[in-house]
Homo-oligomer: A and B are copies of this chain.
Amino acid sequence: MYPKLFTHIKKHVSLTDADEALITNKLTLTKLRKKTFILQPGKICQGNYFILKGCVRMYFVNKKLTEQITQFGLENWWLADYDSLYNQKPSTYYLQAVEDCELLLLTPQHETELISAIPQLQTYFRNMFEKSVIAAQRRIHYISSMNDEELYREFSRLFPEFIQRVPQYMLASYLGFTPQFLSRIRAKKV
């Protein structure tokens, strides 16, 4: 039913057709128009979202009342406010579709049921979190070793297709500076 998801899972563990059917049953497909909110501050994150199609951003509003993006999600990524989800506490974030999106929602209950039925999914999710930890470790390294201009250049080098995909002001927000500054960096000769 969701070949993109199954292909992704099978890169890590094996699945039978029966497994796939079971997984399909436990997931909820959501199609969202651009700018739709998936989560808002005060609400508890409903589950873990697998992105079949589209782009999602996670952000909060800081003291200066500007949006501060902390994370983007793209195709084949799982995304959630895990602090809210696993500790069942109100989120402080917005999750919002940046493009029209197709998401699969997996609630904690369904996740537990799935893992009981298909134990190797525990390995799959462990691998997902492992990758997230590595990504976070790298991000901390970048942040603490580069200035804002270097951050932008490194980010463009690593994800050239991505910077075409989101508005520049979102990129600036994610990287932690103003859109004007980003515009100036781009105007500069390298």
A117-147 Cβ-contact flags toward B at 8 Å (1 or 0): 0010011011001101110111111011100
Residues of B within 8 A of A68 (CB): 144-145
One of B60, B63, B129 near A132 (C-beta < 8 A): B129
Residues of B within 8 A of A71 (CB): 137, 140
CB distance from A10 to the nearest CB of B (A): 18
CB distance from A58 to the nearest CB of B (A): 9
In contact, B134 and A133 (Cβ under 8 angstroms): no
CB distance from A148 to the nearest CB of B (A): 12
Q: Say whether A113 faces chain B, with CB atoms less than 8 Å apart.
A: no
Sample of 14 more A-B contacts, CB < 8 Å, known A86-B134, A87-B134, A136-B137: A68-B145, A70-B141, A70-B144, A82-B133, A83-B134, A86-B130, A122-B123, A125-B126, A129-B130, A129-B132, A129-B133, A133-B136, A139-B140, A144-B176
